[in-house]
């Protein structure tokens, strides 16, 4: 049988470090359960020492999610390790993941330590973690820029202290594939103790090489790849789980390895993470982008109609993308909507179904047809809705190139309708000003993304915003056939997240 590559998912830890992508405990649980269905080997659920909330979230994942190992990250200090164990101790398969900088630039500029003292800290940290947990991972932070002889010493010592997994990360995305693959190969040759531990890699995408570097490491003997859904992570992100898994599957003859990932769960997992973190997936993203299986060229269309393998090397259904020909309209009843939702894999409780049905009718009244993508967006909006301090009721806009835009917005709080009006530099700005006047808080827009969920002039618009409110960035999402309304709903959603967090 082909050699197995362990998939270590760090979406809930490294992926969550994107500004505005903070997840609450229930959201982490939802993603973690889906990652278990996906079949990942390890879920790094968070950094327990970072906050009491993250400690509780990691603990909840450890207690409720079965199958994968559940890891908690810790610096090489006893307090961090104690908290990591407190968080993961109830897991079916707990893991403590300890890290410490190893490159001279990290030792000198960040840690203010010499090599010998850092080596001693690493050994003591692994020993302390080993008192609690059999499965201990040790990461040589900035390993790709670490002196090779010193790196070998650290790895040998960490395994001697009890580490079961050694991670050599490309923390700043500096490596190139030949160099990084060569590093993994040389470590295999120079450190005999690696026969007693899994060798892991964790690559960042600062130069766009995270996936290529991870694959080069696999070719040269890496046992585990650390990655995230949609390639999320610090700065330019991490190696993308879906790309690595599908490359290894599609080119199995070239790599000679396998994973235990259930690839048909990839698309649903990607959509869930995008929705809960409010980070859109670029349309041309490999494997799971909205254009990944779209064809506009006449030559391509002709080839696809004759045989899909002419222009598709992956079947859409292999990653969980299904085409639906039946189109719903405003005349479709509850039974038709419920049947379609079941076809798409959704089993909704009565209350959630009613909310979906009401939003469906609202959209269907303004669109000729409701496609699968429209319906998926409606369902996911309702599934991830935060507790609403204010709910959206209506808006009116007066705008033109020769007048100052004016907006009137009505929100509902505690059953009471509140209406206000404001001007702005444009209609969107006017709507934002109205919302701020009603909710009594000011926001500073950090990021704004607007896209059509489907095609056509009546496409459902999906807006995603990131708003700085009182020094913290909150994400918001909204959908509507009217893009101004979608944007207003997204802005209000961000404020509702702020109020929910405040309570």
CA 270/CA 288 separation, integer angstroms: 7
Which CATH number does the domain housing residue 414 bear? 3.30.160.270
Which pLDDT value is given to residue 363?
A: 78
Q: Which of 246, 277, 308 is a domain's end point?
A: 277
Q: Which of 277, 303, 335 is a domain's end point?
A: 277
CA 412/CA 435 separation, integer angstroms: 11
- Whether the per-residue pLDDT at 385 is higher than 60: the answer is yes
Residue 397: in which H helix or E strand, if any? strand 391-400
Provide mean pLDDT across the span 23-33. Answer: 95
Query: Which carries the bigger pLDDT value, residue 435 or residue 359?
Result: 435
- Whether the per-residue pLDDT at 180 is higher than 70: the answer is yes
How many helices and strands (H and E) does the chain possess?
17, 16
CA 366/CA 368 separation, integer angstroms: 7
Which pLDDT value is given to residue 326?
A: 46
Order the strands of the 403-413 sheet from edge to edge.
Answer: 391-400, 403-413, 416-423
Which of 417, 457, 409 lies closest to 434 in space, CA to CA?
409
| Residue at 285 is within a domain | no
| Residue at 149 is within a domain | yes
The domain of 165 spans: 3-277
CA 211/CA 218 separation, integer angstroms: 11
| Residue at 173 is within a domain | yes
Q: Are residues 263 and 302 in the same domain?
A: no
Q: Are residues 255 and 343 in the same domain?
A: no
What pLDDT digit, counting tens, does each position of 132-168 carry? 999 999 999 999 999 999 999 999 999 999 999 999 9
| Residue at 304 is within a domain | yes
Q: Name the pLDDT band for 323 (thresholds 50, 70, 90).
A: low
**b/e burial code for range 162-195 (CB count within 10 A of at least 16 → b):** bbbbbbbbbbbbbbebeebbebbbebeeebeebe
CA 301/CA 308 separation, integer angstroms: 9
Q: Are residues 15 and 111 in the same domain?
A: yes
Query: Which CA distances in Å does 391 have to 229, 347, 409, 433?
Result: 31, 26, 11, 16
Q: Are residues 338 and 250 in the same domain?
A: no
Angle (CA) 131 42 142, round 5° = 75
- Whether the per-residue pLDDT at 10 is higher than 70: the answer is yes
For the chain, how many structural domains are there in total? 4
Residue 272: in which H helix or E strand, if any? helix 266-277
Q: Are residues 311 and 334 in the same domain?
A: no
CB 203 within 8 A of CB 238: yes
Beta bridge partners of 6: 224
| Residue at 111 is within a domain | yes
Q: Name the pLDDT band for 261 (thresholds 50, 70, 90).
A: very high
Q: Are residues 172 and 214 in the same domain?
A: yes
Longest dimension (CA), the chain: 76
Q: Are residues 115 and 14 in the same domain?
A: yes
Which pLDDT value is given to residue 324?
A: 40
Computed on alpha carbons and rounded to an integer, the radius of gyration of the chain in Å comes to 25
Q: Are residues 429 and 306 in the same domain?
A: no
| Residue at 67 is within a domain | yes
Q: Are residues 214 and 88 in the same domain?
A: yes
| Residue at 208 is within a domain | yes
Which CATH number does the domain housing residue 10 bear? 3.20.20.70
Q: Are residues 316 and 329 in the same domain?
A: no
What are residue 394's phi and psi, to 5 degrees?
Answer: -165, 165
Q: Name the pLDDT band for 501 (thresholds 50, 70, 90).
A: confident
Query: Which carries the bigger pLDDT value, residue 118 or residue 310?
Result: 118
Percent of the chain at pLDDT > 90 equals 69
Q: Which of 383, 410, 433 is a domain's end point?
A: 383
By three-state DSSP, how is residue 322 classified?
A: coil
- Whether the per-residue pLDDT at 503 is higher than 70: the answer is no
| Residue at 44 is within a domain | yes
CA 297/CA 299 separation, integer angstroms: 5
User: Which are the contacts of 238, defined by CB distance < 8 A and separation ≥ 6?
Assistant: 10, 14, 15, 202, 203, 204, 205, 210, 226, 227, 228, 231, 232
CB 24 within 8 A of CB 252: no
Query: Which CA distances in Å does 17 have to 76, 137, 490?
Result: 20, 20, 21
Q: Are residues 378 and 464 in the same domain?
A: no
Q: Are residues 349 and 434 in the same domain?
A: no
Which of 177, 174, 179 lies closest to 205 in space, CA to CA?
174
Is-above-0.85 flag for pTM? no
User: Which are the contacts of 347, defined by CB distance < 8 A and separation ≥ 6?
Assistant: none
């Amino acid at each position: 049988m082909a050699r197995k590559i362990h998939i270590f998912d760090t979406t809930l830890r490294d992926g969550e470090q994107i500004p505005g992508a903070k997840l609450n405990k229930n959201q982490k649980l939802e993603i973690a359960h889906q990652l278990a269905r996906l079949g990942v080997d390890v879920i790094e659920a968070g950094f327990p020492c970072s906050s009491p909330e993250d400690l509780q979230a990691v603990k909840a994942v450890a207690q409720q999610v079965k199958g994968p190992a559940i890891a908690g990250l810790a610096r090489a200090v006893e307090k961090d390790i104690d908290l990591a164990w407190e968080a993961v101790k109830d897991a079916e398969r707990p893991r403590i993941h300890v890290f410490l900088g190893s490159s001279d630039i990290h030792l000198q500029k960040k840690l203010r330590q010499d090599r010998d003292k850092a080596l001693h800290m690493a050994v003591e940290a692994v020993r302390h973690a080993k008192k609690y947990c059999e499965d201990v991972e040790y990461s040589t932070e900035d390993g790709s820029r670490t002196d090779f002889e010193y790196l070998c010493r650290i790895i040998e010592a960490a395994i001697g202290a009890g580490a079961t997994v050694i991670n050599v990360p490309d923390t700043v995305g500096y490596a190139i594939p030949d160099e990084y693959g060569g590093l993994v190969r040389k470590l295999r040759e120079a450190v005999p103790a690696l026969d007693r531990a899994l060798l892991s890699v964790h690559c960042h995408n600062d130069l766009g090489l995270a996936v290529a570097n991870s694959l080069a490491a696999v070719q040269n003997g890496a046992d585990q790849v650390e990655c995230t859904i949609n390639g999320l992570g610090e700065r330019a992100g991490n190696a993308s789980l879906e790309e690595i898994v599908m490359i290894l599957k599609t080119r199995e003859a070239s790599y000679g390895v396998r994973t235990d990932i259930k690839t048909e769960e990839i698309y649903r997992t990607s959509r869930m993470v995008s929705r809960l973190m409010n980070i859109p997936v670029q349309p041309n993203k490999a494997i799971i982008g909205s254009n990944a299986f779209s064809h506009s060229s006449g030559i391509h269309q002709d080839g696809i109609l004759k045989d899909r393998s002419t222009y598709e090397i992956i079947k859409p259904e292999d990653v969980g993308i299904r085409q639906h020909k039946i189109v719903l309209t405003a005349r479709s009843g509850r039974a038709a909507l419920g049947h379609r939702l079941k076809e798409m894999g959704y089993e909704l409780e009565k209350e959630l179904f009613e909310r979906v049905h009401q939003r469906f009718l609202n959209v269907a009244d303004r669109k000729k047809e409701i496609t699968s993508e429209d319906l998926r967006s409606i369902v996911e909006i309702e599934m991830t809705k935060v507790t609403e301090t204010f709910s959206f009721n209506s808006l009116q806009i007066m705008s033109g190139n020769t007048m100052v835009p004016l907006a009137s917005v009505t929100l509902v709080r505690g059953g009471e309708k509140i209406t206000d009006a404001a001007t702005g530099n444009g209609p969107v700005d006017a709507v934002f000003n109205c919302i701020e006047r009603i909710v009594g808080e000011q926001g500073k827009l950090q990021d704004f993304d607007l896209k059509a969920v489907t095609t056509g002039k009546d496409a459902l618009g999906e807006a995603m915003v990131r708003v700085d409110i009182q020094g913290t960035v909150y994400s918001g999402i909204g959908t509507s056939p009217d893009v101004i309304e979608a944007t207003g709903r997204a802005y209000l959603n961000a404020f509702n997240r702020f109020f929910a967090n405040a309570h």
